[in-house]
Amino acid sequence: MPNPHADHFYIDGSWRPSSTPDRLPVVDPASEEVFGAVAAGGEADVALAVAAARRAFPAFSSTPVAERIALLTRVGDLIERRAGLFADAMVREMGVAIGFAAAAQVPFGVAHVRVAADVLRRFSFIARHGTTATVKEPIGVCALITPWNWPLYQITAKVAPAIAAGCTIVLKPSELSPFSALLFAEVMHDAGVPPGVFNLVNGTGAVVGAALSAHPDVDMVSITGSTRAGVLVAQAADPTVKRVVQELGGKSPNVFLEDADFAASVGKGVLAAFRNVGQSCSAPTRMLVPAARLAEVEALAAAAAAQIVVGDPRRPETTLGPIANGAQFERVQAMIRSGLDEGAKLVCGGLGRPASLNRGFYAKPTVFSDVDPGMRIAREEIFGPVLSVIPYRDEEDALRIANDTVYGLGAHVQSRDLDRARRFAGRIRAGQVHINGPAWDGEAAFGGYKRSGNGREYGAFGLEEYLETKSILGYGAP
């Protein structure tokens, strides 16, 4: 599994050794064993990568749209051809179940590339208003900082629109799931990306992430990660007044209005909360239900959780693998303990591993009920398979609870009355709201209100984050 380029970075079109002797171990969360390591970059590596991106920018920013579409098409094709390699890497480095890797992690990653190409085909980089022209131009050198929970998906969500815009890139993937990123760098190379347009430097956020954020020749930073990490990036970027796009934490509500189809939707809500082992920033981990239906919801949620198969992520029957790393496993256990200590009703799950597993960062699918909105499990992002069922009195109370959070990334509304659901969705303070469990849409703007971040990703909205706006007055006749 360890990549032959693990001791190297991809800079200026070739693989180069790290400037430091330091290595970062990579742990298999299913066995808790170290199975590889990657180079830990330093400021010198960042400087080389940024310089390469800066040199490449003038030429790449002026390439014809057709060339960028062709490059993105090759990238998407190569990821699809190597889908098995990507899936295997993510199973090993962050414990995702092989079925979910093959059905979601890889295909959705490819979809971001396809969507970027489609958006680029129809995007207008110039608009005229009278004799004034408004021009959209690539912003410049972009530092892209990606997380461990959706490794390929988050890389393509940033790299694809940046390439579409005509920007050049330095990617810092998570040091906890680096091997899928190295595979992606191989794809970019084999797709024929010009030297310097795409660069990759592995390392920690404290060193590589901080150096990229502060670098005066970086024009933009896009980070997906915790709110704490997003704040640090923004602080480091502040002296150079660069653009910062942040997709950060969440505590998304799933609101069941009184007329919702509880029998059909509660189980789906549990699975949505536990998708990717609950390690999704937009996971709907607060289920808001009418107080009179609480017992019914508890039974439905317990039945859905009982169908989840926790185990070896390499087995096709597994639906929930381990938590991705030891630190996150301990965080999940601490939050479950908090729920118990604060008096939430444990419907299923609880502390420790499932009884059949004695090693690996496996957590029990856990449902708490009768959760008070002030409890830690109702307010803090857990990032694990833990669902809080919260009763409400009436629709206004449900809205108050849904919006009573420092986050505002995603939300869900369940109702048989579409007009009612639309009205409720319009009052939720979140960047993306799902009504009655719709299919994933790679063109729907994704990003948050409040401490969930700034800016948007996906589709035309994601492309525009990588563009500057220029007005040219006196441009000519309309």
Tens digit of each residue's pLDDT (9 = 90 or more) over 46-72: 999 999 999 999 999 999 999 999 999
Mean pLDDT for the stretch of residues 181-205: 98
For residues 167 and 180, give the distance between their C-alpha atoms in angstroms, rounded to a whole number. Answer: 22
279 contacts 250 by C-beta, under 8 angstroms: no
| Selection from 41, 48, 9 nearest residue 204 by Cα | 41
Backbone φ and ψ for 245, nearest 5 degrees, come out as -110, 125
Query: Band of the pLDDT at 2, cuts 50, 70, 90?
Result: low
For residues 162 and 221, give the distance between their C-alpha atoms in angstroms, rounded to a whole number. Answer: 11
Q: Is the pLDDT confidence value at 73 over 60?
A: yes
pLDDT of residue 477: 79
Mean pLDDT for the stretch of residues 275-290: 98
Mean pLDDT for the stretch of residues 275-301: 98
Tens digit of each residue's pLDDT (9 = 90 or more) over 150-171: 999 999 999 999 999 999 999 9
Q: Which helix (H) or strand (E) holds 169?
A: strand 168-172
pLDDT of residue 478: 66
Tens digit of each residue's pLDDT (9 = 90 or more) over 228-250: 999 999 999 999 999 999 999 99
Neighbours of 64 (CB within 10 A): 9
pLDDT of residue 3: 85
pLDDT of residue 4: 87
CA distances from 401 to 111, 404, 428 (A): 34, 5, 10
Q: Residue 207 has which token pair?
A: 């060193």
Q: Which helix (H) or strand (E) holds 122?
A: helix 106-122
Q: To which residue do tokens 């009355």 refer?
A: 417
Tens digit of each residue's pLDDT (9 = 90 or more) over 400-413: 999 999 999 999 99
- Mapped onto helix, strand or coil, the DSSP state of residue 371 is coil
Tens digit of each residue's pLDDT (9 = 90 or more) over 441-451: 999 999 999 99
For residues 246 and 431, give the distance between their C-alpha atoms in angstroms, rounded to a whole number. Answer: 13
Tens digit of each residue's pLDDT (9 = 90 or more) over 415-462: 999 999 999 999 999 999 999 999 999 999 999 999 999 999 999 999
Strand ranges (E), 317-437: 345-348, 366-369, 386-392, 410-414, 432-435
Q: Residue 222 has which token pair?
A: 């896009």
Q: Is the pLDDT confidence value at 140 over 60?
A: yes
pTM comes to 0.97
Neighbours of 346 (CB within 10 A): 14
CA 238 to chain CA centroid, Å, is: 23
Query: What share of the chain has pLDDT > 90, as a percent?
Result: 99
Which long-range CB contacts under 8 A does 82-91 form with residues at least 24 apart? 82/183, 82/187, 83/107, 83/110, 85/183, 86/152, 86/180, 86/183, 86/184, 88/1, 89/1, 89/179, 89/180, 89/183, 90/151, 90/152, 90/177, 90/180, 91/313, 91/314, 91/321
- Mapped onto helix, strand or coil, the DSSP state of residue 186 is helix
Q: Is the pLDDT confidence value at 119 over 80?
A: yes
CA distances from 26 to 21, 37, 98, 226, 239 (A): 16, 5, 19, 20, 34
pLDDT of residue 78: 98
Top-level class of domain 8-248+452-472: alpha beta
pLDDT of residue 384: 98
Sheet hosting strand 410-414, strand order edge to edge:
345-348, 366-369, 386-392, 286-290, 253-256, 410-414, 432-435
Q: Is the pLDDT confidence value at 1 over 60?
A: no
The catalytic residue positions are 247, 281
Query: What share of the chain has pLDDT > 70, as a percent?
Result: 99
Same fold, 8-248+452-472 and 253-441: no
pLDDT of residue 145: 98
| DSSP letters for 403-458 | H-SS--SEEEEE-S-HHHHHHHHHHS-SSEEEESSPPP-TTS-B--SGGGEES-BS
pLDDT of residue 215: 98
Domain ranges of the chain: 8-248+452-472, 253-441
Tens digit of each residue's pLDDT (9 = 90 or more) over 352-410: 999 999 999 999 999 999 999 999 999 999 999 999 999 999 999 999 999 999 999 99
For residues 147 and 143, give the distance between their C-alpha atoms in angstroms, rounded to a whole number. Answer: 13
State the distance between the two ends of the chain, measured CA to CA, in whole angstroms.
58
Q: Which residues pair with 39 in a beta bridge?
A: 23
List the CATH code of the domain at 253-441.
3.40.309.10
For residues 73 and 66, give the distance between their C-alpha atoms in angstroms, rounded to a whole number. Answer: 10
For residues 451 and 409, give the distance between their C-alpha atoms in angstroms, rounded to a whole number. Answer: 9
